[in-house]
Amino acid sequence: MMLADLTLTHAPVTPWLVSVGVTAAIVLGLVGMFAFATNRRIRDSATRGWLSRLCYAVFLTSVGVLAISSFGSLLQFGHMSGYALLAHVAAAGAFVFLLLVVAVLYLPWGGSVATDENTAAVGDQRWWFARWTAWLLVISSLLTAGSMFLSMLPILDTAGLHEAVAVHRWTGLVVVVSALFHLFAISCTRLGWR
Amino acid sequence: MMCLNQGTLQAQNRYASSDNLSGYVHWIDLYDANNTRIDPSVESPPPYSPEKTCGRCHAFDVISHGWHFNAVDREANHGRPGQPWLWSDERTGTHLPLSYRGWPGTHHPDDLGLTRWQVAAKLGGYLPGGGVGSLESLATSTGVDSEATGDAAEDETSTEEPTHEVVDRTSVTGPLPVDCMLCHRNRGSGYSPFVWTEQIENENFAYAPTAALGLATVTGNISRLKDDFDPTDPASQDKMPKVVYEQAKFRSDGKVFFDLVRKPKNDACYYCHSNQPAEAVLGQRWHHDEDVHFRAGLACADCHRNGIDHHTVRGFDGEQHPAGSLAASLSCQGCHMGTDTNGQHVPVPGRFGAPRPAHRGLPPLHFDKLTCTACHSGPLPSSQAQRQVNSILHKLGEHIKRTGEEQPGIVASVQLPLTVPNLSNDHESGAEKDDHLATGKYAPHRLMWPSFWAVLRDGQVEIPPPESVYDMIRKPLKVRRDFTEELASVRLPLSTRKELLGEDRYRVRDDDRTEEEQAKIAAAEATLRTEQVNERMAEALAELEAQYPGTQAVYVSGGQGFVRKGEAEIELLDADNLASSGLSDAIKPYAWPIAHNVRPARQSLGATGCLECHSDGSLFFNTEIQPVGLLPDQTTVAVKTHELQQADMLRLGNWNQLFAGRSLFKILGLVALALTGLVTLSAIAWNFGSWWRGGP
């Protein structure tokens, strides 16, 4: 099993993906119009306390476990099984719930106001690399978790299930890369290199 | 592959054909083995020869090397292990799985000192002829012993060991002819496959097609003729079977109507490929359903089809078949999904309106771990694997009473990892051809436990030629027909009965005894039976050891090994002794995958939810399997499926814990994902708004 084998078995343009995309576009448009019309600004209330850092650390750990248990298993055995699969499923639970926290804490909010020195790296003050890797991390994570949740619901047929797992694998790979880059970015900031 | 296809096409094109879908009405002349037209009115007419009769218009030489005939062909692709042939000797309690195909767990007949003729005579009744019994195969049979016993001949002890007579009566019986009508008969044509079987048992090889077709009555029995009988001697012709044709079946021009079909009917396949729950033979057949494909109007040969080369598609995923994509589209996955496991072919899905399965809510990982049949085929899961009967192994077709307990005991269904040929082996490079790999995919299997006599020497198991074993042990074993039944049969002496029941009651009939008296008699008989079994078995084992000096004799049955303990007692080999003696593998059950009957989707495994498999005690991992032993009162050790699967039950237990709160996890997870999505969309919108307003 090589990485080249991680191919999309079908082009992911089935009706369910189209539906998801259209829905996302509509919601995005409505929220954008709301933001534009009201000109409201969000106040970043998050402070990087120990709980936030813990959540981020556990999230990264879960990404690490998920990556090793999946890609490691795929590369070695060609499929997931045994304790690797068990670890993957267990870590997925933490991943899904902490993703919400990471999204709230790390997604850039345009025009946000830094409230104190602890939030100096938040919002528009952050290094562009940290902002964009945060976007990439959260969106790819959403797709990764979403594709697997979809396959657990009585929605997709067999072909859709195969597409979902292909999407899961590819977006999962993006999660791993973006998580590494994001960690690098905030480490640079924290160490004062940026 | 291309060469084979071209060869097949050339073979097809050698002959004229009608090419009308209505078929060709076969009013044809009969020809005998000498290619002479048969006149039924002459005195002592010969039997007809399918090769010479059918072969006039069909590529017999190509047909006779197809799947059902190529077991002995070393160059053939033998594919995924399947149901074995079985060498059974009810007199010695022997049931040995055989295969010339090198399937793991089977014994090669050559290694057991069995000649091709012996195998053809023993098993030919459920074969379509040719193959192992063909002239080509029988001609190579003389080389059997040189290979099988070559090492033994050089062994120091071999000079003291018995020499086994090579049984080959080819000169008396002739080769086993291919009988086209065994498969191509029309339903209700009058052809009787069991007459074919009977004739083969009587060693009337050449006469079997004629008798089975109902064209003639055949009297006589070649098996009663001596080994040195010369069938070509004119003086001995009166001892040969007699053929009397039904002249009313011949038209005035001498032609005969063959009621046949190009595509074999299900009945023809069933004669050799019937598998039924044991209870079916006790009148419970109506409790069971047919394969869903039959109910949809399909026939066996719709999927298991072949061209003139008779290379029948077996239909398993990953099958290496000359027809390539066509064959791939006839597997479950190919036909229903349009995909090929190995990605080598592009199957055409939807044949015969095959529906595309939904599998809604089934995480796709299951497709990596389970074959289609794991969920969709075989008997419904039960707490205990059920006994089954099989047409070949239990001679279904013979008109007798059955109990469902016939040996060898076959149980089903047991979910086990599938074994497939190692496709990475390159035959041309001389790499090991018989290597097989476990795919890790589970499939339902049938199991049988081999039983046989053997000798142990230096950690090696040597199985003497099974036919010779009877000659060696028949005196001490005192069995003439049925090993289990006769070993178990005891009758208390009158003196013992008198002692147990008293002067007044010991002569009363069995039915008139009180329950207490019956219990006393039963207990005494059980004791006597145990003594009898121990004594006779110990003597038989001792006799075998005498024949093979320096060895320890063993009888294997029901996954256990029995050795002699003193003069009149036998004992069970424990796990350590089994391992040190090399018997551990030899006692293991032989398992082969189940393909049919396919159940409807609503009866598939997991149709009621995840917990059907992912819960403690689920039948997928916990069906109990009771090995079937042949020794009277033998207590076999039941095993759970997960023991055979070598599954990690600690891990499975942890898995099951995860599934305890799965529904709640799905709900909370979806809520979390929805919130995350909302937060993300909001952030996108805020940033978009900020950018639109010219913000940073």
DSSP notation for B368-432: HHB-HHHHHBSSPP-SBPEEEEETTTTTBTB-----S-PSSPEEEEEEEEEEEE-TT--TTTT--
Residue A161 is assigned to a structural domain of this protein: yes
Please tell me the predicted confidence (pLDDT) of residue A11: 44
To the nearest whole angstrom, how far is the Cα of A17 from the nearest Cα of chain B? 15
Taking an 8 Å cut-off on Cβ atoms, the answer to whether B665 and A93 are in contact is yes
State whether B516 and B376 are in the same domain.
Answer: no
Residues 6..45 of A with a Cβ closer than 8 Å to B: which? 9, 24, 27-28, 31-32, 34-36, 39, 41-42
Structural domain that includes position B678: 661-696
What rounded mean pLDDT belongs to chain B?
87
State whether B398 and B500 are in the same domain.
Answer: no
pLDDT of A10 above 50 = no
Residue A33 is assigned to a structural domain of this protein: no
State whether B64 and B204 are in the same domain.
Answer: yes
Please tell me the predicted confidence (pLDDT) of residue B12: 65
A161 — contact with chain B (CB < 8 Å)? yes
Residue A75 is assigned to a structural domain of this protein: yes
State whether B231 and B377 are in the same domain.
Answer: no
Name the residue among B149, B4, B145 with its Cα closest to residue B70. B4
Dihedral Cα B212, B218, B223, B226, nearest 10 deg: -150
Residue A12 is assigned to a structural domain of this protein: no
Please tell me the predicted confidence (pLDDT) of residue B433: 47
State whether B141 and B44 are in the same domain.
Answer: yes
Please tell me the predicted confidence (pLDDT) of residue B422: 65
Question: Of the given ranges (A103-112, A144-153, B470-479), which has the lowest mean pLDDT?
Answer: A103-112
Q: How confident is the model at residue A128 (pLDDT cuts 50, 70, 90)?
A: confident
To the nearest whole angstrom, how far is the Cα of B75 from the nearest Cα of chain A? 30
Cβ-based neighbour number of residue A7 at 10 Å: 11
Q: B43: number of CA atoms within 13 Å, CB side?
A: 2
To the nearest whole angstrom, how far is the Cα of B667 from the nearest Cα of chain A? 10
State whether B425 and B474 are in the same domain.
Answer: no
Tokens of B121: 């005579």
Buried residues in B570-589 as b, exposed as e (16+ CB within 10 A): beebeeebbeebbbeebbeb
To the nearest whole angstrom, how far is the Cα of B117 from the nearest Cα of chain A? 45
B535 within 8 A of B605, measured Cβ to Cβ: no
Which residues on chain A are in Cβ contact (under 8 Å) with B679? Answer: 100, 103-104, 107
Taking an 8 Å cut-off on Cβ atoms, the answer to whether A152 and B690 are in contact is no
Question: Of the given ranges (A90-104, B145-159, B271-285), which has the lowest mean pLDDT?
Answer: B145-159
Probe site for chain A from B337, B360, B367, B663 (most A CB atoms < 10 A): B360
Taking an 8 Å cut-off on Cβ atoms, the answer to whether B364 and A162 are in contact is yes
Query: Which chain B residue shows the shortest CA-CA distance from A105?
Result: B679
Please tell me the predicted confidence (pLDDT) of residue A123: 43
- Across B423-449, average pLDDT: 68
Taking an 8 Å cut-off on Cβ atoms, the answer to whether A161 and B362 are in contact is yes
State whether B48 and B181 are in the same domain.
Answer: yes
Taking an 8 Å cut-off on Cβ atoms, the answer to whether B364 and A142 are in contact is no
State whether B475 and B492 are in the same domain.
Answer: yes
> Could you tell me the CA-to-CA distances from A165 to A83, B78, B212, B658 in Å, in that order?
20, 34, 56, 21
Residue A128 is assigned to a structural domain of this protein: yes
- Across B635-644, average pLDDT: 92
pLDDT of B427 above 60 = no
Q: How confident is the model at residue B154 (pLDDT cuts 50, 70, 90)?
A: very low
B462 within 8 A of B85, measured Cβ to Cβ: no
B546 — contact with chain A (CB < 8 Å)? no
Question: Of the given ranges (A43-47, B111-115, B408-412), which has the lowest mean pLDDT?
Answer: A43-47
Q: How confident is the model at residue B400 (pLDDT cuts 50, 70, 90)?
A: confident
What residues contact residue B602 under an 8 Å CB cut-off, 6+ apart? none
Q: How confident is the model at residue B392 (pLDDT cuts 50, 70, 90)?
A: very high
Please tell me the predicted confidence (pLDDT) of residue A16: 60
State whether B529 and B609 are in the same domain.
Answer: no
Taking an 8 Å cut-off on Cβ atoms, the answer to whether B681 and A83 are in contact is no
Taking an 8 Å cut-off on Cβ atoms, the answer to whether B359 and A158 are in contact is yes
pLDDT tens digits, B587-598: 999 999 999 999
Q: How confident is the model at residue B438 (pLDDT cuts 50, 70, 90)?
A: low
Q: How confident is the model at residue B577 (pLDDT cuts 50, 70, 90)?
A: confident
- Across B97-106, average pLDDT: 92
Please tell me the predicted confidence (pLDDT) of residue B350: 86
B359 — contact with chain A (CB < 8 Å)? yes
Compute φ and ψ for B421, nearest 5 degrees. -65, 145
- Across B296-321, average pLDDT: 90
Range among A22-31, A108-117, B249-258, B681-690 rated most confident:
B249-258
- Across B510-534, average pLDDT: 88
Which residues on chain B are in Cβ contact (under 8 Å) with A145? Answer: 669, 673
Q: Which residue has the higher pLDDT, B426 or B102?
A: B102
Report how many domains make up chain B.
Answer: 4
- Round to whole Å and give the CA distance between B95 and B84: 11
Q: How confident is the model at residue A105 (pLDDT cuts 50, 70, 90)?
A: confident
Going by the DSSP 8-state scheme, the letter that residue A70 receives in this structure is I
Name the residue among B473, B479, B411 with its Cα closest to residue B444. B411
A184 — contact with chain B (CB < 8 Å)? no
Please tell me the predicted confidence (pLDDT) of residue A46: 44
- Across A101-105, average pLDDT: 86
Q: Which residues pair with B457 in a beta bridge?
A: B460
Candidate from B337, B360, B691 with C-beta closest to A154: B360
Which residues on chain A are in Cβ contact (under 8 Å) with B666? Answer: 149, 152-153
| Strands of the sheet with B275-277, listed across from one edge | B275-277, B386-390, B410-421, B436-448, B590-593
Dihedral Cα B215, B218, B223, B226, nearest 10 deg: -120
pLDDT of B418 above 60 = yes
State whether B383 and B485 are in the same domain.
Answer: no
Residue A139 is assigned to a structural domain of this protein: yes
Compute φ and ψ for B253, nearest 5 degrees. -90, 10
Structural domain that includes position A142: 42-190
- Across B487-497, average pLDDT: 87
Residue A76 is assigned to a structural domain of this protein: yes
pLDDT of B157 above 60 = no
Please tell me the predicted confidence (pLDDT) of residue B436: 67
- Name the percent of chain A lying above pLDDT 70: 65
Query: Where is B674: in which H helix or E strand?
Result: helix B662-692
- Name the percent of chain B lying above pLDDT 90: 49
State whether B573 and B672 are in the same domain.
Answer: no
Question: Of the given ranges (A9-13, B26-30, B368-372), which has the lowest mean pLDDT?
Answer: A9-13
A156 — contact with chain B (CB < 8 Å)? yes
Q: Which residue has the higher pLDDT, B132 or A81?
A: B132
Please tell me the predicted confidence (pLDDT) of residue B435: 65
What residues contact residue B577 under an 8 Å CB cut-off, 6+ apart? B561, B583
Residue B354 is assigned to a structural domain of this protein: no
Taking an 8 Å cut-off on Cβ atoms, the answer to whether B676 and A159 are in contact is no
Which residues on chain A are in Cβ contact (under 8 Å) with B688? Answer: 28, 32, 35-36, 110
B650 — contact with chain A (CB < 8 Å)? no
Residue A96 is assigned to a structural domain of this protein: yes
Name the residue among A93, A188, A177, A184 with its Cα closest to residue A139. A177
Please tell me the predicted confidence (pLDDT) of residue B368: 85
Going by the DSSP 8-state scheme, the letter that residue B444 receives in this structure is E
Residues 71..110 of A with a Cβ closer than 8 Å to B: which? 77, 79-83, 85-86, 89-90, 93, 96-97, 99-100, 103-104, 107-110
Please tell me the predicted confidence (pLDDT) of residue B509: 81
- Round to whole Å and give the CA distance between A171 and A12: 12
To the nearest whole angstrom, how far is the Cα of A82 from the nearest Cα of chain B? 7
Residues 593..612 of B with a Cβ closer than 8 Å to A: which? none
Candidate from A42, A152, A157 with C-beta closest to B358: A157
State whether B517 and B474 are in the same domain.
Answer: yes
Residues 321..350 of B with a Cβ closer than 8 Å to A: which? 337, 339
Name the residue among A156, A158, A152 with its Cα closest to residue B357. A158
B689 — contact with chain A (CB < 8 Å)? yes
Probe site for chain B from A107, A128, A136 (most B CB atoms < 10 A): A107
Question: Of the given ranges (A123-137, B295-309, B444-458, B466-480), which has the lowest mean pLDDT?
Answer: A123-137
Beta strands (DSSP E) in B215-293 are 216-219, 242-245, 256-258, 275-277
Taking an 8 Å cut-off on Cβ atoms, the answer to whether A108 and B683 are in contact is yes
B694 — contact with chain A (CB < 8 Å)? no
Q: Which residue has the higher pLDDT, B447 or B439?
A: B447
pLDDT of B161 above 90 = no
Q: Which residue has the higher pLDDT, A149 or B510?
A: A149
